[in-house]
């Protein structure tokens, strides 16, 4: 049986090789969140990265170099939809050195690694407005900063007001404005049907499953949006009863160049039947009420079903707060979007209005765009569950949600045109 022995040996070798390879951290995602005079670059990995070197390279380029990492083609490309950002490019150099170049529209003044744990590297970038004088000296004057200690150096956040030199509107800037207007056009909307596959979500009265309600309603929202906003692309993070991990949902949205992310869910109380009833919207911010925290805890608990859930290991309250701060560039938009959706549902009187709340939803952490999580109603409530389980109920909710999104889009387009 030499044939079999050889096969076994090859199998063992390839298994060992795969194990050795899997010990090398792999890049999962790069997100950049510009916010005024600072920006946060977050690189997510499957394991701890040991060597990180950050360096401003001039012409608005912030460079992060990391040794002994892997990355596949998918992780190296990133959709850029944010103002203040020109591009995000990453490539592997000399087999295991990952080089990420993030190009901002402003000058990169300094870079600091603010966090490095078993799943992530976070770099704080300080920016300053471009001026002819500073542009010439940028590339030469900035020091290289090497970071290899276990705990990242803690630099206080820059709170000093920057002298915003806004009247340097050269022809270059005008081209930038036109480009960023195009980049900002609300042309792609991501609807995220919560749960799916092995994760049924909440189980309601009358055997109604959250994963079925979210998928059916999301598809109806897409249909309604197609009618209301014909030129806009509407994508779902899942089209069928598939299990999609939380972090992937944001990635799908980012890679598709999504301009809005709306995650669809159903609420539930631990005991049923329960009188709690109604429609709620959530935006990502550290929870202020125990009720909101309970909802976030339930929606986040799906990670227990995910393979490689350790990627969320650093996603403590602190990380959520950081992510929420990084998302602050979109906070105003997320809040307005939530309000418009809420108002639209309220006027139809389908379900009681329970307002807009804030909590730390992991699914909203990864999407680099205005994002809202909708809890359509309570599956633990007899009336809500019946409505949510019915096609007509789903249709009227979908229509209201879509109208709210349309209202937001109209206001948004008006703002963009003014700029």
Choice from 29, 224, 245, 299 touching Zn ion (CB under 5 A): 299
Choice from 126, 259, 265, 340 touching Zn ion (CB under 5 A): 265
Of the candidate spans 94-102, 160-168, 186-194, 352-360, the one that interacts with Zn ion by CB under 5 A turns out to be 186-194
Q: 224 vs 299, which CB is nearer to Zn ion?
A: 299
Tell me the site size for Zn ion, rule CB under 5 A. Answer: 4
3-state SS assignment for residue 346: helix
- Contacts for 56 with CB less than 8 Å, ≥ 6 apart: 62, 63, 108, 109, 110, 111, 138, 139, 142
Position of minimal CB gap to Zn ion:
265
Of the candidate spans 18-26, 242-250, 258-266, 409-417, the one that interacts with Zn ion by CB under 5 A turns out to be 258-266
Of the candidate spans 5-13, 17-25, 280-288, 293-301, the one that interacts with Zn ion by CB under 5 A turns out to be 293-301
- Give least dist CB 388 to Zn ion, A: 12
Residue 340 has φ and ψ, to the nearest 5°, of -65, -40
Q: 210 vs 224, which CB is nearer to Zn ion?
A: 210
Q: What is the CA radius of gyration of the chain?
A: 23
Q: 51 vs 301, which CB is nearer to Zn ion?
A: 301
Q: 116 vs 298, which CB is nearer to Zn ion?
A: 298
DSSP string, 113-177: EEEE-SSEEEEEEEEE---HHHHHHHHHHPPPEEE-SSSPP-PPP--SPP---TT---HHHHHHH
**Within positions 86 to 105, which residues make up the interface with Zn ion, using CB under 5 A?**
none
- Contacts for 250 with CB less than 8 Å, ≥ 6 apart: 261, 363, 364, 365, 366, 367, 368
Of the candidate spans 31-39, 40-48, 219-227, 296-304, the one that interacts with Zn ion by CB under 5 A turns out to be 296-304
Does residue number 65 form part of the binding site for Zn ion (CB under 5 A)? no
Does residue number 280 form part of the binding site for Zn ion (CB under 5 A)? no
76/48 Cα distance (integer angstroms): 18
3-state SS assignment for residue 316: coil
- Give least dist CB 209 to Zn ion, A: 11
- Give least dist CB 283 to Zn ion, A: 16
Cβ(315)–Cβ(365) below 8 Å: yes
The CA-based diameter of the chain, rounded to the nearest angstrom, is: 80
Beta bridge partner(s), residue 124: 40, 112
Of the candidate spans 108-116, 199-207, 307-315, 331-339, the one that interacts with Zn ion by CB under 5 A turns out to be 199-207
Q: 127 vs 373, which CB is nearer to Zn ion?
A: 373
Two tokens at 221? 């929202």
Does residue number 201 form part of the binding site for Zn ion (CB under 5 A)? yes
Does residue number 194 form part of the binding site for Zn ion (CB under 5 A)? yes
Count how many residues are written for the chain.
419
- Give least dist CB 326 to Zn ion, A: 24
- Contacts for 58 with CB less than 8 Å, ≥ 6 apart: 108, 138, 139, 140, 142
Does residue number 196 form part of the binding site for Zn ion (CB under 5 A)? no
Residue numbers at the binding site for Zn ion (CB under 5 A): 194, 201, 265, 299
């Amino acid at each position: 049986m030499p044939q079999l022995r050889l096969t076994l040996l090859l199998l063992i070798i390839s298994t060992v090789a795969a194990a050795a390879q899997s010990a090398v951290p792999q890049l999962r995602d790069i997100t950049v969140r510009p916010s005024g005079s600072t920006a946060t670059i977050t690189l997510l990995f499957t394991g701890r990265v040991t060597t990180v070197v950050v360096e401003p390279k001039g012409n608005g380029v912030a460079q992060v170099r990391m040794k002994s990492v892997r990355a596949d083609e998918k992780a190296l490309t990133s959709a850029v939809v944010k103002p203040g950002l020109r591009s995000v490019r990453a490539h592997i150099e000399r087999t295991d050195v990952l080089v990420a170049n993030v190009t901002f529209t402003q000058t990169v003044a300094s870079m600091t690694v603010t966090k490095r744990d078993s799943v992530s590297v976070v770099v704080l970038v300080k920016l300053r407005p471009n001026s002819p004088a500073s542009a010439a000296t940028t590339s030469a004057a900035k020091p290289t900063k090497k970071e290899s200690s276990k705990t990242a150096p803690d630099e206080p956040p820059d709170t000093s007001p920057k002298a915003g030199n806004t009247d340097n509107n050269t022809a270059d800037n005008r081209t930038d404005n036109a480009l960023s207007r195009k980049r900002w056009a609300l042309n792609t909307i991501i609807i995220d049907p919560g749960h799916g596959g092995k994760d049924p979500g909440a189980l309601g009265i009358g055997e109604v499953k959250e994963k079925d309600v979210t998928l059916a309603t999301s598809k109806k929202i897409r249909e309604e949006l197609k009618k209301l906003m014909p030129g806009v692309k509407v994508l779902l993070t899942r089209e069928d009863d598939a299990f999609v991990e939380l972090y992937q949902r944001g990635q799908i949205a980012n890679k598709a160049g999504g301009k809005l992310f709306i995650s669809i869910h159903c609420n539930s109380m631990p005991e049923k039947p329960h009188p709690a009833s109604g429609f709620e919207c959530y935006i990502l911010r550290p929870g202020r009420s125990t009720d909101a925290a309970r909802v976030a805890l339930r929606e986040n608990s799906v990670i227990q079903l995910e393979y490689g859930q350790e990627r969320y290991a650093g996603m403590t309250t602190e990380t959520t707060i950081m992510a929420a701060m990084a998302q602050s560039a979109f906070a105003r938009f997320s809040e307005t979007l939530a309000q418009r959706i809420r108002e639209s549902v309220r006027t139809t009187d389908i379900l009681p209005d329970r307002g807009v709340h804030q909590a730390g939803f992991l699914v909203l952490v990864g999407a680099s765009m205005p994002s809202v999580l909708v809890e359509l109603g309570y599956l633990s409530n007899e009336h809500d569950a019946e409505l949510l389980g019915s096609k007509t109920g789903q249709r009227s909710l979908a229509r209201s949600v879509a109208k709210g999104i349309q209202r937001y889009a109209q206001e948004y387009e008006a703002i963009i045109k003014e700029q």
